[in-house]
Copies of this chain bind each other. A is one copy, B any other.
Amino acid sequence: MAKSKPTAGRPARPSRRKPKTRPASGLSRERIAAAAMALVDREGLAALSTRRLGSELGCEAMSIYHHFPGKTHLMDALVDLMLKAAEVPIIGEQGWLERLRRAAHGFRAMALKHPKFFPFFATHRLNTPAGVAFIDGIIGILRDAGFSDRDAATYFREIGYYLTGAALDETAGYARGPSAAEPVSGEMIAANFPHLAAAAPYFQPQHFQATFETGLEILLDGIWQAHRSRRRAP
């Protein structure tokens, strides 16, 4: 960024003439992306249209196109915004297992910070700058631990599978209410699906944290075991 350079406009502008026709709204990629994310957080992905975003910003829809070539690019910016704000702690002094654990918790926290946006995030490859940096960091933890490239790739993926699925369920799953047009009724479930009925209470949000953690620990433990046996019998 820093494209605007010296002038920076703002300071020392004594002009008392208020430009009535041109409000100098001062659009920018950052401001547009921030407004878009706020809109999604507030009203959901479906509310994010160029016209709606324009009215949110106090400009016309097409003005956005001066800063982003298309909506796709704006969505990319949102992905990057989310990842950067997350500041998933990848580096640190702890051992590799603990760093992996913290990165996983950081990922979940990031998703929960923007639950309405996460379904988009999950269904799009994040090969944006911040995205590849994030991925590189996680794989780095595994490679630093001494895993082969193949094992690092495999375990990265498996943890990623789990994290994606977990965050998707917590942000878009049952706890957010039914999504089918004609959801199966509670009575129907109670009458015909005893197993689901018995488990249903534990699908409530207050159990999310514990469920997430025990599952993550199973995975991490499995990876840790593989690490041990690898050192013992190469």
Contacts and interface: CB of A to CB of B under 8 A. Distances in A.
Interface of A: 69-70, 72-73, 75-76, 79, 119, 122-129, 131-133, 135-137, 139-140, 143, 149-150, 152-154, 156-158, 160-166, 168-169, 172-174, 176-184, 188-189, 193-196, 198-203, 207, 210-211, 214-215, 218-219, 221-223
A140 B210 contact: no
Given A157-B169, A157-B211, A161-B165, A196 B139 contact: yes
A156 B143 CA distance: 31
A158 to B, nearest CB: 3
Copies of this subunit: 2
Given A125-B174, A153-B199, 19 more contacts: A122-B122, A123-B168, A128-B180, A128-B183, A132-B184, A135-B196, A139-B195, A139-B196, A150-B202, A152-B195, A153-B203, A154-B210, A157-B215, A160-B165, A161-B164, A161-B165, A162-B162, A164-B169, A165-B166
Contacts of A168: 122-123, 161, 164-165, 168
A215 B161 contact: yes
A104 to B, nearest CB: 12
B73 A136 contact: no
